Amino acid sequence: MILTVLALQVRAQEMITLEEVIGLAVERNYDIQLARNASSSAETDDQYAIGAYLPEINAVGSKTWNNNNQKQLLADNTERKRDGIKSENLSGSLQLSWLLFDGTRMFAARGRIAEIAEQGEMVVKDQMVNTIASVIDNYYFIVALKQQLKATREQMAVSEERVKLAELKLEVGTGGKPELLQAKVDLNAQRTQVVQQSTAIRQVKDQLNGMVGMQLPEEFDVADSIIINLNLSKEDILVDIENKNFALQAARKNISIADLSLRERRGEMLPFLYFNSNYNFSKTENEVAINSFTPLFNQNRGFNYGFSVSFPILTGLNARRRVRQANIEVDRQQILYEQQKTAITVEISNAFDNYQNASEVLLIEEETMLLARENVLIALEGFKRGVTTFIELRTAQISLESAYTGLITARYNAKLAETELLKLSGGLIRNMH
């Protein structure tokens, strides 16, 4: 029994690092699994695309039983009639059809399928980046809530001291009951905040657990501090962004896919060359012959081969229409790529502005925190000696509460801005290695 209690306590205190959560998310997150599933489908198509170069071989066989009634009138007016004539027919064929040339469509199709498979890999990586960013934001949101909870508890210590001092002053006749009541009201408000913040932490932990397929322990803890890199450079983020941002890489693949589709459409306007071959076998057995020219047994077998050419001459202008549409799609994908590239460049610029702003605000809030904490300590000591008034101490407390909230918010916002920059540059995956 004692061992069980100890085990539960250890489990309740289990620390989960950000790296562990990211590892679980990459493996178990449902969005990443769905992206991998779609990529696997494209890879499967790519693996079997070699079949476009191979011939088609089909085997056909049939067995037929006949029961016929025949009546014949010959040229010499002789009439022959017989009912219940039975016969059997057995036939089989091995057919080969090989497309040797189709205007290079098969090569373009093979390349297009390969490009789609590579695009699938880019989509998976892009989804991984987005998921990792969400995990980081969620994880450090829990850290921020923990810090806020810790700050509230520290402020409760000051409020508890205020209550004791107000009670003491009331007993000795140097204070009034409103001061004591207000001190207790403020303490109760902080106690309510502790309950609400604890609930919020549990809820956000559940959300984080859901992002990794519920693979985290039922009870777990996270880090106490938010680690921020304040040395990111906008130039480093933007350099070679076309090859670092996975969404852009996937969009660029759409241009290649459209180009190859255009080659396929152009190939439809060229002649098709086929090689055809058949091996045929047939056998017919008749029970009786109604005349002397009807064989009782007939068997044929043989092999034939040859080439055939198909050349589209007039297709209702459909071939030209499809080529024109394919050209338009190439232009469209180029425009979409340039649009997305511009949008991501703007996002990086805005994200870097947020990053710089958050960094500057963080430094200010850290200084404000030191000033507010020192001010509360001075005001509390002065209140004990009767130098500081109740209102002055309460004002200092409110300033400290605001400073705590401002500092924690600034830390979290700085981390969000850093994460957004790394997400846009693909750095979240590179930083994993």
Do residue 110 and residue 241 come from a single domain? yes
Choose one of 310, 339, 367: the last residue of a domain. 310
Do residue 79 and residue 154 come from a single domain? no
Secondary-structure percent of the chain, ordered helix, strand, coil, rounded to 5: 65, 15, 15
152: domain CATH number is 1.20.1600.10
Count structural domains, the chain.
2
Do residue 194 and residue 288 come from a single domain? no
Q: Following DSSP, what letter does each residue of 10-64 receive, concatenated?
A: HHHT-B--HHHHHHHHHHH-HHHHHHHHHHHHHHHHHHHGGGGGSPEEEEEEEEE
Do residue 322 and residue 363 come from a single domain? yes
pLDDT digits (tens, 9 = 90+) for 296-310: 888 889 999 999 998
Residues 6+ apart with CB under 8 A from 312: 268, 269, 271, 319
Do residue 240 and residue 194 come from a single domain? yes
pLDDT digits (tens, 9 = 90+) for 135-171: 999 999 999 999 999 989 988 888 888 888 878 877 7
Nearest-angstrom CA–CA distance, 94 and 61: 9
- The predicted pLDDT at position 325 comes to 93
Do residue 123 and residue 41 come from a single domain? yes
Do residue 26 and residue 78 come from a single domain? no
Do residue 86 and residue 111 come from a single domain? no
Do residue 164 and residue 300 come from a single domain? no
The residue among 301, 408, 421 whose CA lies nearest residue 361 is: 408
Choose one of 252, 282, 310: the last residue of a domain. 310
pLDDT digits (tens, 9 = 90+) for 77-107: 777 777 787 888 989 999 999 988 888 888 8
- The predicted pLDDT at position 289 comes to 67
Choose one of 310, 330, 362: the last residue of a domain. 310
Do residue 328 and residue 228 come from a single domain? yes
pLDDT digits (tens, 9 = 90+) for 211-270: 999 999 989 999 999 989 989 888 888 888 988 899 999 999 999 999 999 999 998 888
Phi-psi region of 245 (alpha: psi -120 to 50; beta: other; left: phi over 0): beta
Do residue 111 and residue 37 come from a single domain? yes
Q: What's the domain range around 210?
A: 2-54+102-271+312-430
Do residue 329 and residue 278 come from a single domain? no
Structure tokens given for 300: 């044929």
